[in-house]
Chain A
Amino acid sequence: MSAKLKAWITDRRILRLALTLALMILLLSCLGVLLYLRVNALLNRYMEVQGEKQAETLAELTQRQFEVELTALYTVASELPRIEGMRANALQAIQEADYDGRIGVQRIDGSPFYGEAYSMEDFPCIESATHGKNAVSYCPGKGLMFCVPALREENVAFVVYRLYPEAILYQRFGVVSYGGSGHVRIEDAENHVVVPCHPADAESVVFAEDAVFAENSVVEGVQWMERTLYGVGSASVFRRCSLGETMLYAAVIGNSDYHIVGFVPKSVVMEGVQHISSMVILVFVVLAVMTLSGGFLLMGLERQSRERDALREAARVAEKSSAAKSEFLANMSHDIRTPMNAIIGFTNLALQDMTNQEQVHAHLDKIKSASSNLLGLMNDILEMSRLDSGVLELNETVCVLPQMLEELREIMDEPVREKKQTFTTDCSGVADTAVWCDRVQLHRILLNLVSNAVKFTPEGGEISLRIQESPGESPDVGRYEIRVKDNGIGMSPEFAPKAFTLFERERTSTVSGVQGSGLGLAIVKHIVDSMNGTVRVQSEPGLGSEFVVVLNLRKAEEPERTPEAQATLEEDVSLEGRRILLVDDIELNREIVAMILEMEEVETEQADDGSVAVKMIADAEPDYYDAVLMDIQMPVMDGYDATRAIRAMGGPRGATPIIALSANAFDEDKKKSAEAGMNDHLAKPVDESQLVEALRKVFAAKRQTKYSLSP
């Protein structure tokens, strides 16, 4: 799955948008369906109304037909009484009128006059005619009879009828609707079929149309129509039958007991109209598609805007950081210049008058102190870049806390003495004194906190460092609380929370007077955070501060200490008479080290490149050189490669102790040195005592080996 798509899916806001979109589509679909159904219903109703009107028209047609029949018959009938008494003439007249042999005339008492006589029971219209009213009636099996009185003034002389036998009823009165697609029949009030919807055919017994009329759904539909038929005169309804969706329609025939009822397939009525419903669906599909596209577009825009916002935020943070850095650099600039000024100034002063040894010594002391400050400052700046990169690798080794505290005391001895302060350490509250921890980082924490305390406490102040242990989360983990307390100038409550922020220093005159980069605490916090610990400060202006660091550290086994042997070894070792090879591409550096070593009565030889050093060792006798001080960054062949080459030689030459002297003194560099085969790693500018100690250690180790190797 592409990263972009994955990003889209996991973005919560996009998910919410997608959900809203889905909901909208659902809503649209529902609306669409609803509208479709409604439109269908309305179309159906429209067609039903049309059906009703059709039925009414057909009924009216039939009514006209009946009236025409009666009128025609009446005309014939009205002739009769005029031919008074002249029976023969009357008969002739009738015969002439009787073109289809269906006319009959009977007397008021029911006896025949011309043609057959029928009874009132069969044809109630005869009774009506006898009473003077035109009428129509149907007798199943006999046919449809139109009956009129032959009136003389207001008296009824005869009853004249025309009888249509069943067989030809359809031909004569059959109703044609929807161009033959509709099937209509005429029924009387008792639902007897007067005029069927198909011609009478002796051969066919059951007609398809009749079968349809007999179907349950159709019967039910006709009953439904009859509920409103007699009230409003016509009715129409849709029902599903064997022919599919069918429209039923009915209407009463005026001036009679009869009504028409018929059916027509829906498709005939619907012609073309069904497209309207399809249009509705189409419209909604289009709407849905548009909504979807709109939604996707919106999602894309959302994402873009989010990205833009993120970028803006990042830019803001970067700007802020950059601003802070600029400010820091500005401050640094001042802080760097101060010791530089001292170094330059006092150097000039010393050069001016070399004869006054005491004064020159004093100047050089000051230069020494200033250059040490400058070194510290530069270390801090380097640290800053590392903190910016964020990642801190921890190399856990076994740390013995009391030992570390002692080291700290040694380091802080001079500054404390200078300020006539008291610095006490106490780890009596620790049961498990050995822990797994990054020694360097822990040392840094302690050093930064304590040196801060010393810096911000005036002369005569008290600084204490106390470590306490309490049970940790699990039996092999301890909760170590490190408290660094001083009674110095403290910090104001507004500043306290910002103390651990990079580059932050309280802007007070007292603080400004103190040398510092504002990084110390930030570095502490960074390290503590990397160790998953906590650090906090309690402080009151004028009364002092207490820094509390809490670390959960894994307990370790105390390593065997052989301080006496170690001390003996170290004390025994002297550098007098040793020969050391100095490797550095910069002559000045070689000079400085050479001068330092010469004071210790050490002989030195110099090589200006790795390759030269390798050659010199190779050409020399084994054990000619006691040790090598190797710079790392050199052209042609760097320190690592040179070391590897030397080691590769094997034998006593290959075992020559090599100590790295490098501008880079970070953990990675130390690791690299160790990997290359170097025995130790010192940072430039080289500290005299550090160098001597390192050499002593290396020689001691060599002697041990020597001792162990000797038979």
Chain B
Amino acid sequence: MKKRALLILAVCLLALFLWQMLTIGAERRDSQSPLNKVGVLLNGSAQDGGFSQSLAEAARDVCEEKSLTFIRYDGVTVEAFPETVQNLMEEGCGLIVCDSEEFDPGLEQLAKDNPGVCFFNAMGAVTARNLSSCFRRTYQARYLLGITAGCQTVANEIGMIVSSFSSETIRQINAFTLGVRRVNENARVFVRCTNDPFDAETAAAVTNELLDAHSIDVLCCHGIPYAAMETANRRGVWLVGYVPGDEIPFPDTWLAGYAFDWKPFLTQCVEDWRANRFVGRQYSGGVRSGLVHLTPFGANVREETRDVVEAELARLLDGSFDVFFGPVRDRYGTVQVREGETMSDERILHGMNWFVEGVTPE
């Protein structure tokens, strides 16, 4: 009996020893997260009829195509950003997509702390080994819209309504005005702010106010509800702006629009991520890279206008010109960018707190 017990003990010990021997040191560094969940964080709303929506929709499409799980959070503020990312990672997301340069500081830290997770900022300027950013150059499209508006206007009074005076919107206003002034030195751009990106009534009201105050014949909207454009349309004002998709929403008054094509970027991103070949890069997302493109012109756009726009587009495409190439003067006549120089991305992102010549903020 005793002998048997000893034998069993010996066998157990032997088994334990063998198991230990076979498994010690067998771990390899492997901090890879699962490759089937994508998290999307939007600073704005997915139904803003604007950039965030296009990103969200493209992300959803790509995920569907590749049978990945897609989790989305809207309206994420800068303060809430790190926590929201943690939540996404806990839920098992291996790729995080977000859409604002304001997230950049948080992103840098997160990328460093989580080497197994990949990050893509649809509008940002920081990179790391596992963090890619795209510098979205919507302003290039806006510039072209400005050219369209400048050619089209007869009253030389153009209106622009934005939801707030953020760096993004100022950028848009400036680019737009630069385009207007390029073809029409006499035109002036009157800018109003609704201070509310969501409320339709406010948008409509501001639009009416603006149109009442001036004899504006072309209107550009940015980041505000559709109601503004509808109002303008009813009043017979020509419109330029952003529409999702390629259909012409207001056939009578529509001049030109732009749209995003996020799919190539996101597809590349997702594919790299899934093949374990995700390298953090800084993408330049302008017309050259195909992220932004003009939608078909409205019927009312004249042939000459189209030619001019095409010519400017060609200059943007071959890299010999960008919107903020000098000379650029601000509202007060100060030379902000000399001739032969251009604004660095840094300045474009954070250093544009002035309006170019021709802008009249109200």
Q: Which residues of A pack against B, CB within 8 Å?
A: 31, 34-35, 38, 41-42, 45, 107-110, 119-120, 127-128, 130-133, 149, 151-152, 154-157, 189, 226-233, 252, 254-255, 257
Contacts and interface: CB of A to CB of B under 8 A. Distances in A.
Contact of A42 (B24, B135, B281): B24
Contacts of A31: 18
B206 interface: no
A503 B77 CA distance: 117
By Cβ-Cβ distance, the 5 closest A-B pairs, closest first, are: A132-B344, A154-B347, A131-B345, A155-B341, A109-B320
A108 B21 CA distance: 64
A155 to B, nearest CB: 4
A34 B344 contact: no
Contacts of B25: 41-42, 45
A613 to B, nearest CB: 78
Given A42-B24, A157-B340, A132 B31 contact: no
A415 to B, nearest CB: 64
A226 B32 CA distance: 13
B29 interface: yes
Given A155-B342, A254-B129, A109 B325 contact: yes
B284 A226 contact: no
B89 interface: no
Contacts of B279: 189, 230, 252, 257
B284 A233 contact: no
B49 interface: no
Given A38-B22, A189-B279, A156 B30 contact: no
B276 A230 contact: yes
B321 interface: yes
A56 to B, nearest CB: 12
Given A230-B129, A257-B281, 20 more contacts: A35-B21, A41-B25, A107-B340, A109-B320, A127-B319, A130-B322, A131-B135, A131-B344, A132-B347, A154-B343, A155-B344, A156-B341, A156-B344, A157-B341, A226-B277, A228-B28, A228-B32, A231-B115, A254-B129, A255-B127
Contacts of B345: 131-133
Given A155-B338, A156-B344, A257-B281, A110 B320 contact: yes
A231 B24 contact: no
B197 interface: no
Nearest to B277: A230
A231 B116 contact: yes
A256 to B, nearest CB: 9
B18 A34 contact: yes
Contacts of A231: 30-32, 115-116, 130, 276
Contacts, number: 107
A227 B276 contact: yes
Contact of B319 (A120, A154, A227): A120
A152 B342 CA distance: 10
A232 B29 contact: yes
A230 B278 contact: yes
B247 interface: no
Contacts of B24: 38, 42
Contacts of B116: 231-232
Contacts of B28: 45, 228
B346 interface: yes
Contacts of B321: 109
A109 B18 CA distance: 70
B267 interface: no
Contact of A233 (B21, B115, B338): B115
Interface string B263-294: 00000000000001111011010000000000
B326 interface: yes
Contacts of B78: none
Contact of B343 (A34, A109, A155): A155
A273 to B, nearest CB: 15
Interface of B: 18, 21-22, 24-25, 28-32, 115-116, 127, 129-130, 135, 276-279, 281-282, 284, 319-322, 325-326, 337-338, 340-347, 351
Given A34-B21, A127-B284, A132 B346 contact: yes
Contacts of B29: 228, 232
Among A45, A108, A127, A157, chain B packs the most CB atoms within 10 A around the CB of A108
30 contacts: A34-B22, A38-B22, A41-B25, A42-B24, A45-B28, A108-B322, A108-B342, A120-B319, A128-B282, A131-B284, A132-B345, A133-B344, A152-B338, A154-B344, A154-B346, A155-B338, A155-B344, A156-B341, A157-B341, A226-B277, A227-B276, A228-B30, A228-B32, A229-B276, A230-B277, A230-B278, A231-B30, A231-B115, A254-B129, A257-B279
A127 B282 CA distance: 11
Contacts of B22: 34, 38
Output the residue of B282, B325, B344, B345 with the most chain A CB within 10 A: B344
B276 A228 contact: yes
A135 to B, nearest CB: 8
A79 B319 CA distance: 25
Contacts of B282: 128, 133
B277 A155 contact: no
Tell which of A109, A152, A227 has the most Cβ of chain B within 10 Å: A109
B107 to A, nearest CB: 16
Contacts of B277: 189, 226, 230
Contacts of A45: 25, 28
A557 B129 CA distance: 118
B280 to A, nearest CB: 9
A192 B320 CA distance: 28
A625 to B, nearest CB: 83
A74 to B, nearest CB: 13
A232 B343 contact: no
Nearest to A30: B18
Contacts of A156: 341-344
A45 B23 CA distance: 13
Given A108-B325, A233-B129, A155 B115 contact: no
Contacts of B129: 230, 233, 252, 254
A570 B356 CA distance: 173
B283 to A, nearest CB: 10
A209 B46 CA distance: 53
Contacts of A108: 322, 325, 340-342
**Chain B CB within 10 Å, residue with most, of A131, A229, A232:** A131
Nearest to A257: B279
Contact of B344 (A151, A227, A229, A230): A151
A229 B32 CA distance: 11
Contacts of A232: 29-31, 115-116
Contacts of A189: 277, 279
B265 to A, nearest CB: 15
Nearest to B338: A155
Nearest to B278: A230
A155 B337 contact: yes
A623 B326 CA distance: 174
A133 B283 CA distance: 12
A149 B276 contact: no
B118 to A, nearest CB: 9
A130 B345 CA distance: 9
Contacts of A107: 340
Contacts of A149: 344
A127 B276 CA distance: 27
A59 to B, nearest CB: 11
Contacts of B284: 127-128, 131
Contacts of A120: 319
Nearest to B116: A231
A156 B25 CA distance: 53
B127 to A, nearest CB: 8
A230 B282 CA distance: 16
A132 B29 CA distance: 37
A125 B221 CA distance: 35
Contact of B130 (A41, A155, A230): A230
Contacts of A252: 129, 279
A189 B320 CA distance: 27
